[in-house]
């Protein structure tokens, strides 16, 4: 049998007696609005200890947050399984997460925001689901305790994201997720895309599940952001749309836009040309300007798509356009439930 697969050879092959408590690394990126980290550690470490897991906590902070990490560094001195890493040139939360995962020692990695989102009791449940064979398990804040405004925002965001990704996830913003360590390291995410980690996992063909977790009391406060935040989210989704669907075929995206514009412009110019042949003056027609503008924009978009195709083509030898499924024994094949997101062709 394949040694790399023993931990995940399918739920049907498992009995509880087989389960060895896995080694778990909890990685905490200290980025926005962190809560006191020592308390956070105590709260979330307790259920892991109770479940008998061997675990470590990795706090990753950028240099500005070094002061915040002081109390947890003290915990490490006191013998708690805590490590604090400073990432000097981190470019966003994703880089931080990946850097932490690369230095984690556990086979299972849990990402935990530096603020309390869900009740800590969910952590052992997440771990159990990964041990049973899922690649990534998300905590979904449910039941929720917060106001209808928050829920409405969440619903709208996920409706939009769902349209773009085809996934049926309900709370990708929660940030509490458990996964096999190599899944996180494998995902092609960067910069500020950490929010969309589960969607990239679905796209890579990983088995992504959700687990309900009661929302933490500390997470309940109505959040209304500035207009800039919403604008950035919208841009994020646009970027996501492109990255998920068109990274290997940019001309499909730019070419479709460009050829529609070009077609519109060409029709306008043709109509004007015919009118001119009929003896009508066209020099004072704003449509001449509009037609030209559309045609020019169309050519620009197509040309940009072609440059995109050159880049994709040049990178093709170093990329692999597929990922193989993890090996499973035929016996466990039936036990593999349907993944969260439906595959699209």
Partner 1 sequence: MNGLDRERSGPHGWATTASAGGSSEPGPALSVVVPLYNEEGNIHPLVSAVREALAAVESWELLLVDDGSTDGTAARALECCGADPRVRLLRLARNYGQTAAMQAGFDHARGAVVVSMDGDMQNDPADIPRLVARLDEGFDLVAGYRERRRDKVLTRKVPSWLANRLIRRVTGVPIRDNGCSLKAFRRDLLHRLHLYADLHRFIPAVAAATAGARITEIPVRHHPRQYGRSKYGLSRTVKVLLDLLTVRMIQRVRERPLQLFGAGALAACVCGAVFAAFAAIAYARFGPDKAYSVVFPAVSLLWFGLGAYLLMLGLIAEAALREDLPGHGRNAPVVREVSGS
168 interacts with partner 1 by CB under 8 A: no
Q: For residue 89, which of 65, 63, 111, 109 has the smallest C-alpha distance?
A: 63
| Nearer of residues 203 and 233 to partner 1, judged by Cβ | 203
For residue 306, count CB atoms less than 10 angstroms from its CB and return exposed for 0-12, middle for 13-18, buried for 19 or more. Answer: middle
80 token code pair: 């708690």
Q: For residue 164, which of 323, 341, 320 has the smallest C-alpha distance?
A: 341
Q: Which of 108, 255, 262, 340 binds partner 1 (CB under 8 A)?
A: 255
> If you search the block for the tokens 């061997």, which residue do you land on?
54
**Of the ranges 10-18, 22-30, 113-121, 325-333, which one interacts with partner 1 (CB under 8 A)?**
325-333
Number of residues that bind partner 1 (CB under 8 A): 55
**Of the ranges 41-49, 69-77, 229-237, 323-331, which one interacts with partner 1 (CB under 8 A)?**
323-331
| Nearer of residues 43 and 248 to partner 1, judged by Cβ | 248
DSSP assignment of 63-85: GGGHHHHHHHHHHHHTT-SEEEE
279 interacts with partner 1 by CB under 8 A: no
192 interacts with partner 1 by CB under 8 A: no
Count of beta carbons in the 10 Å neighbourhood of residue 26: 27
Report, in Å, the least distance between residue 296 CB and partner 1.
5
| Nearer of residues 60 and 298 to partner 1, judged by Cβ | 298
206 interacts with partner 1 by CB under 8 A: yes
Q: Which of 220, 223, 319, 337 binds partner 1 (CB under 8 A)?
A: 319
Q: How far is CA 74 from CA 77, 80, 103, in A?
A: 5, 9, 20
Residues 96 and 31 sit within 8 Å (Cβ to Cβ): yes
Dihedral-angle region of residue 166 (phi above 0 means left; psi in -120 to 50 means alpha; beta otherwise): left
Report, in Å, the least distance between residue 25 CB and partner 1.
16
Q: Which residues contact 16 (CB under 8 A, 6 or more apart)?
A: none
| Nearer of residues 4 and 234 to partner 1, judged by Cβ | 4
Total count of residues recorded for the chain: 345
| Nearer of residues 146 and 204 to partner 1, judged by Cβ | 204
Residues binding partner 1 (CB under 8 A):
1-2, 4-5, 182, 186, 203-206, 248-249, 251-252, 255-256, 259, 283-286, 288-289, 292-293, 296, 299-300, 302-304, 306-307, 309-314, 316-317, 319-327, 330, 333, 343-345
């Amino acid at each position: 049998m394949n040694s790399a697969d023993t931990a995940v050879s399918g739920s049907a092959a498992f009995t509880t007696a087989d389960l060895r408590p896995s080694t778990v690394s909890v990685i905490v990126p200290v980025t926005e609005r962190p809560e006191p980290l020592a308390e956070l550690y105590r709260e979330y470490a307790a259920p892991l200890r109770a479940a008998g897991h061997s675990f470590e906590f990795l706090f990753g902070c950028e240099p500005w947050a070094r002061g915040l990490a002081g109390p947890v560094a003290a915990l490490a001195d006191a013998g708690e399984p805590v490590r604090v890493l400073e990432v000097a040139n981190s470019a966003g939360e994703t880089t931080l997460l990946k850097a932490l995962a690369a230095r984690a020692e556990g086979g299972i990695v849990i990402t935990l925001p530096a603020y309390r989102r869900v009740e800590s009791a969910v952590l052992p449940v997440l771990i159990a689901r990964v041990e049973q064979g899922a690649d990534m398990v998300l905590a979904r804040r449910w039941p929720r305790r917060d106001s209808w405004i928050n829920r409405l925002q969440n619903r709208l965001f996920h409706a939009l994201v769902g349209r773009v990704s085809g996934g049926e996830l309900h709370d990708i913003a929660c940030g509490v997720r458990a996964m096999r360590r190599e899944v996180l390291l494998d995902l092609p995410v960067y910069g500020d895309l950490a929010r969309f980690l589960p969607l990239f996992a679905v796209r890579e063909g990983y088995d992504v599940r959700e687990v309900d977790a009661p929302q933490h009391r500390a997470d309940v406060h109505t959040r209304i952001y500035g207009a800039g935040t919403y604008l950035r989210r919208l841009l994020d989704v646009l970027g996501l749309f492109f990255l998920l669907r068109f990274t290997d075929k940019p001309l499909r995206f730019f070419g479709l836009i460009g050829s529609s514009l070009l077609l519109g412009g060409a029709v306008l110019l043709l109509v004007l040309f015919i009118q001119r042949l009929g003896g009508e003056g066209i020099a004072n027609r704003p449509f001449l300007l509009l037609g030209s503008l559309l045609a020019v924009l169309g050519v620009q978009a197509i040309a940009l798509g072609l440059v995109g195709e050159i880049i994709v083509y040049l990178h093709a030898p170093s990329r692999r356009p597929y990922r193989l499924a993890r090996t499973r024994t035929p016996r466990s094949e039936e036990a593999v439930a349907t993944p969260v997101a439906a595959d699209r062709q």
